[in-house]
Amino acid sequence: MATTMRLAIAGATGRMGRALIEAIRADASLALVAALEVPGSPALGRAAGDAGQVAITADVPAALAQSDALIDFTRPEGTLAHLAACVSAGRAIVIGTTGFTPAQLAQIDAAAKRIPVAMAANFAIGVNVFYQLAESAARILGTDFDIEIIEAHHRHKVDAPSGTALRLGERVAAARGQDLAGHAVFARHGDTGERPAGAIGFHALRGGDIVGEHTILFAGAGERLELTVRSASRTTYAQGALRAAKFLRGKAPGRYGMEQVLGLS
């Protein structure tokens, strides 16, 4: 019988951190052994989660020493610091952070040559099926159908468009033989002129406590196809991230996506 997998959570008091902690405690094959927050956080020393037995700490090396893997849904700078610590400790990492620059992504790719890294713009299983459906539709419909991507999130989200929306754009662009960078249009204002052929539009909505909603619209002459996925709880993201952590166990160094985790490719 496989031994219990020991996990550390970065950003333990954040929305995703709390969801991950509760999901770990509901899974008998997993154990929360470390919960991390930034130095100076008022949460340091407190119990992680409701009635937890693990105290929140800022000591990353100590946390990794007792863990099999780290799950990180924080901010790019913090994630890269945790990534470097994982490389030093020889620990796997699951990265759910978005908003990385190309240079930062290159750092992640370099680290993935030394440790196993699971990284996705969105870990929700339904969202990853949504990606596949949208990709198939884009390939079949081609450039005769215009593409618009609309996403909505809570008022506290700091990046726009969402990482999920951008990844969706990348996949549908590739399915049509396009490069997203040369065809993306981010919102519109004023006298924009006629819509360029092959453009892929993005629209970001922010408000209230919306967990996450994504719609892709394929608009053709005389008909319109829309695909939508809505997340009602961060539990969906947490369950996918835990599935990714389990997938990394025993894996060789490399960068893995949810396509590999779910067996979609």
Residues annotated as catalytic are: 153, 157
Rounded Cα distance between 15 and 230, Å, is 17
Closest-CA residue to 69 (of 87, 55, 44, 48)? 87
Helix pair angle (125-141, 235-248), 10° resolution: 90
- Exposure of 146 in the CB half-sphere (CA atoms within 13 A): 14
Cβ-based burial of 163 (10 A; exposed 0-12, middle 13-18, buried ≥19)? middle
* Alpha-helical segments (H) within the chain: 15-25, 60-65, 76-89, 102-111, 125-141, 163-175, 235-248, 258-261
Q: Are 92 and 250 in contact (CB under 8 A)?
A: no
Backbone CA torsion sign across 5, 85, 42, 75: negative
